[in-house]
Structure 1
Amino acid sequence: MALPVVAPPRSHLGKDRDANTLLGRAVVGLGLTGLILYLDEDRVVKVAKTYTLDDFPGHDSGYVEYINDANRESLRRERWIYERLGDHEGIITCFKASDYGIELAFAKQGDLERYIKSNAEPHKPIKTRWILSLTDALSYIHSCRVFVDEIALRNVLVIDGQLKLSDFGQSYLLALAADVDTICENDLTAKIEIYHLGWVIYSIAVWGVHKYYYFEHEDPQWPNLQELPPTRHLFCGTIIQKCWNGDYASMAALNEEAHALLAK
């Protein structure tokens, strides 16, 4: 895989302790709050984006430091989430983490959005394995009292033909005593997470990129079901429709039914 020869700007690495060791590393991923830098053929490191005044003309140093602190806090929260989740199939491997960076497995095949666009449609057994790996992983994540928030194709990575959930920078670390099936955290609920997963499953089923994010609207409302794509006679159509209808009480219930219907 050819890597872009892009050195991260010093302003994006800031003055953190490990910044000098990362200068000159190729950027293989770019997010809202972080950069993904190449370490070797098996590993990358995620670091917080940091800026200088030159990046925000017309703003004062307080504004710039506010942005930098928010990005560092996002990385810190993501570290805590990886520590709570531990090593689990269906989640990107985290080798080690600190407040300066999170070392992760390198997904050479990219994210699922790009993979769908550039690869031929796989046979149903592969789709089935992928869908069950996602329901397994997300059921586990919810059992650890974590809300992902952005369950989307771009945050599902492909490694050696396996799907791995990644990017927990905007996720929520819930109290361990929380009822994950009923709690509402910053307007996010388990049913909204399941709804987002329904779109990922739909994209795999029809082998096309379909995006939906509940909170992209100013006044989020549960979608009008008549405006959604038809699922009758579609592979996994029953599961997808129930995700969109809000019929599953929990991610665990979805996972249980997915295995009952697909793992035959």
Structure 2
Amino acid sequence: MLPGIFYFYLMFIVEHLGRLPFLATLWHSTIARCARLWTLISRLLGRQLWLSLETQAEKDTKPPTPPRHIIYWPIPGSWQRKEHPNWPDSSFQIPENVPHGTIYYITKGKQVGRGATAHVEQLPSGHIVKYPKSNPYSPKEEEDHRRDMRTEAEIYRKMGDCPYIPRLIGWDPESCCLTLENLEKGDLATYMKETAWIPAETRRRWALQAAASLLALHKADVIHCDIAPRNFLLNATLDLHIADFAGSSVAGSTPTIAAGPRFQPPGWSWHLPAEKSDDIFALGSVIYFIMVGEEPYPKLLEEEVRELFRDAVFPDVSHLICGAVIRGCWDGTLTTAEHIVNSLTTLYTTTATSQADERLRD
């Protein structure tokens, strides 16, 4: 009720005051100013609304912020339909709503390994397949993964029919998918940790095969750059093969991978070109692992190991049959893989002869 009365009296005052000349002029001036002010406010509000719409549109079209962590979630491939005929079709399809940071992918086989840049699976045929990890959040990183797979395929082609690497079964340049021979006993690191007792003769054979495999790589102008027990594989007869060349250096190319501190020579840096001597040093740590069953200084932090190596303080190897060879890899007195192969061969021959002489004397 009160607002209606207030409005009536206000209009009465405006009507009568408007009849006075000077008040009419003042009134019209005030109305004009209010009109201009309202126009200005309307423009500002309209501009603010337009900016808000533009900002929202940018948010809608801007790609999502890359996640800090990516989760790769496997979706069963068609190869599993025979094993699980009762599974619904949805089990073999990527969901429509994908959580941020999750990347679904269709598997080609059973997962048998984890790689930084590739999925590693065993096909129903028994062969091993490696294919690059996708990454819609970073096209550059995804292309880096494909490049590493192309590098690995090139190395397998260069090596040809080498007895110290897995046999190449196939290569698809379109999908960058690599198919390899399956080495049944898996990687050296896992095998040694899961096996209670390994004969000394087997350990000596592994040391020689590791050196021979590195010699074959270096002769092909390949620097592995990640010589470590996990990158050596064992077949059914427990013969050692070197593998995983994604990120290696070929004919002087820049590597994209590196060994850990326990397998890096003093002064190693990403800013320095890859050298065969880097592989030689790492081979010393691998042979140490083969003989002892653990990496150098396993209880120390990586930075502590790096400082010890920088001061040329290495584990004691004087009690090991090939201790001098290990030490030669670490201190640089053995400069080539060929020197290591020859040293081990001579050592084993001498040791076998000495043992035979002792048996004859007995």
Residue in 1 aligned with 2:222? 146
Q: CA deviation at 1:237?
A: 0.5
Kindly indicate whether residue 290 of structure 2 is the aligned counterpart of residue 204 of structure 1: yes
Partner residue of 2:338 out of 245, 252, 255: 252
In 1, Cα distance between equivalents of 2:119 and 2:76:
8
| CA 1:39–1:158: 2 relative to 1, 3 Å | same
Give the TM-score of the pair, scaled to structure 2. 0.58
* Equivalent residues in 2 for 1:1-264, closer than 5 Å: 7=75, 11=103, 23=107, 25-40=109-124, 42-53=126-137, 64-99=138-173, 100-160=176-236, 161-174=238-251, 186-210=272-296, 223-226=310-313, 228-263=314-349, 264=352
Aligned-partner Cα distance in 2 for 1:41–1:113: 26
CA separation of 1:7/1:28 partners in 2, compared to 1, >3 Å: closer, same or farther?
farther
Q: Let me know the Cα RMSD of the aligned residues.
A: 2.6
* Cα distance in 1 for residues equivalent to 2:274 and 2:239: 28
State how far apart, in whole Å, the 1-side matches of 2:133 and 2:209 are: 31
- Name the CA distance, whole Å, in 2 between partners of 1:86 and 1:211: 37
- CA shift, 1:247, in A, is 0.8
Amino acid in structure 2 at the alignment position of 1:87: D
Q: Which has the higher contact order (CA 8 A, sep 6+)?
A: 1
Amino acid at match of 1:89: P
Letter of the structure 1 residue corresponding to residue 328 of structure 2: K
For residues 271 and 180 of structure 2, the distance between their equivalents in structure 1, rounded to whole angstroms, comes to 27
Q: How much has 1:204 moved relative to structure 2?
A: 0.7
- 1:12, 1:157 → 2: CA distance? 29
* 8 Å contact from structure 2 (residues 252, 274) kept in 1: no
Question: In structure 2, the residue corresponding to 1:233 is in which secondary structure?
Answer: coil
In the aligned structure 2, how far is the partner of 1:44 from the partner of 1:28? 8
Give the whole-Å Cα distance in 2 for the aligned partners of 1:204 and 1:128: 8
The residue identity in structure 1 corresponding to 2:154 is W
Distance 1:118 1:112 in 2: 10
- TM-score, structure 1 normalization: 0.78
Q: Which has the larger radius of gyration?
A: 2
Percent identity, aligned pairs only, is: 25
- Structure 1, residues 33-58: CA drift from partner, whole Å, max 9, x if none? 111121136311100111224xxxxx
Cα distance, 1:92–1:129 mapped onto 2, change above 3 Å: same
